Amino acid sequence: MIRQDQDNVSRQRAPKRWRQSCVHNECSLHQLAPYIGKIKSSIARELIATYSKPGDLVVDPFAGAGTIPLEAAIQGRIAFAADISPYARVLSQAKLSPPVALETALQNAEDALAEAQILPLPDLTSIPRWVRCFFHPRTLSESLQFASVVRRVGNEFLMACFLGILHHQRPGFLSFPSSHLVPYLRDKKYPRTAYPEMYGYRALRPRLLSKVRRAYKRFQNPNSIGVSVCQSSVETLNFPSRFDAVITSPPYMNALDYARDNRLRLWFIDPTLAEPVENDVSRRRQAFVDAMISLAKRLRDGLKRRGYCIFVVGEEVHRSFNAHPADVIISIMNDQSRCIRLMKVLTDSIPDVRRTRRECQGVKTEYFLIFQRS
């Protein structure tokens, strides 16, 4: 439970409408590719509308899938997105600077497919076994050729579309039957002998072009003027010198493992990346504290007067932590940036259907900590 000893802080439950699904009316760019622990776009939209104005520079230093920056850009704010993860950079960049029209996106896709097709065939024996086991060899060859073209800077939209169809059990995806969010083969549920059609060759071209079309189904053009997307840890990030608002959800301490859960997509973005292993709970807690101290100092230096800072914080119930992460943030903000005061706390319980791992003891309630500079 979050501490009750903060004076003059309004405490409310989040509006009931935040529980409603938004997947059928949100901008389709939000559905380019999955990302664990992403905020609902309807919540991001309301936070931006309430706590910033058109033309404001809105910073999200833990941008993840780019949900908050995309909603900011759709509402005419200037979006500044950063995240430590290369996958988050690709997704955020793709959403914030997509081709202006479906026809352009389809033409870009055809050009990249044609360029990939004339590349030499890759040597599949050099591909790690854990990657190979997800794909038919011909699908894997096409995917490797295509990834090597769209890995180049400027092709993030196509890379994101490709990563969005990388693994699932449905026919529109490239892998053998597997889960969508986190890459696990579902060969026990769908054994090869009983479902041979699920283990055949899956051509990349028709699947990619359908994915591009889906991205433009409910397209809303984001404001691309002044947009910045950086791959950086918050500690080393070059913040803008002055900004109007920060709206962000810091990593949930110990609850989600972004590198492990995105491992297949990360491998296609950069096969040379060493697999980051970060399982030590106390090290993670310290990393969270360090990141938040660094962010609080940047807020003190750069947040404009009357500007808001919103943290969306997951509940952490792991016994090895002696304080709730929301309390950790409140206390760090008190120590590092006294001029930025906590005004309001909203709580929202996360129904099981929205949780990544239904049985886990992890994030059950989200806290929205609303700070304002005096």
Interaction site with ligand SAM (CB under 6 A): 35, 37-39, 61-62, 64-65, 67-68, 83-85, 88, 233-234, 249, 251-252, 258, 291
Rounded to an integer, what distance in angstroms lies between the CA atom of residue 347 and that of residue 10? 11
Structure tokens at 136: 């038919």
Alpha carbon 123 to its chain centroid, in Å, reads 32
CB of 67: closest distance to ligand SAM in angstroms?
3
Rounded to an integer, what distance in angstroms lies between the CA atom of residue 249 and that of residue 42? 15
CB of 2: closest distance to ligand SAM in angstroms?
18
- Considering the complex, state which of residue 150 and residue 313 has its C-beta at the smaller distance from ligand SAM: 313
Phi, psi at 47, each rounded to 5°: -65, -40
Q: How many CB atoms lie within 10 A of CB 19?
A: 16
- Considering the complex, state which of residue 142 and residue 366 has its C-beta at the smaller distance from ligand SAM: 366
- Considering the complex, state which of residue 136 and residue 297 has its C-beta at the smaller distance from ligand SAM: 297
CB of 321: closest distance to ligand SAM in angstroms?
16
- Considering the complex, state which of residue 54 and residue 276 has its C-beta at the smaller distance from ligand SAM: 276
| Residue 107 CB partners (closer than 8 Å, separation 6+) | none
CB of 134: closest distance to ligand SAM in angstroms?
23
Rounded to an integer, what distance in angstroms lies between the CA atom of residue 195 and that of residue 44? 41
Rounded to an integer, what distance in angstroms lies between the CA atom of residue 92 and that of residue 103? 21
- Considering the complex, state which of residue 43 and residue 140 has its C-beta at the smaller distance from ligand SAM: 43
- Considering the complex, state which of residue 56 and residue 261 has its C-beta at the smaller distance from ligand SAM: 261
Say which DSSP state 240 is in: -
CB of 17: closest distance to ligand SAM in angstroms?
18
CB of 294: closest distance to ligand SAM in angstroms?
8
Coil, strand, or helix at residue 2?
Answer: coil
Query: Is the CB of residue 172 less than 8 Å from the CB of residue 207?
Result: yes
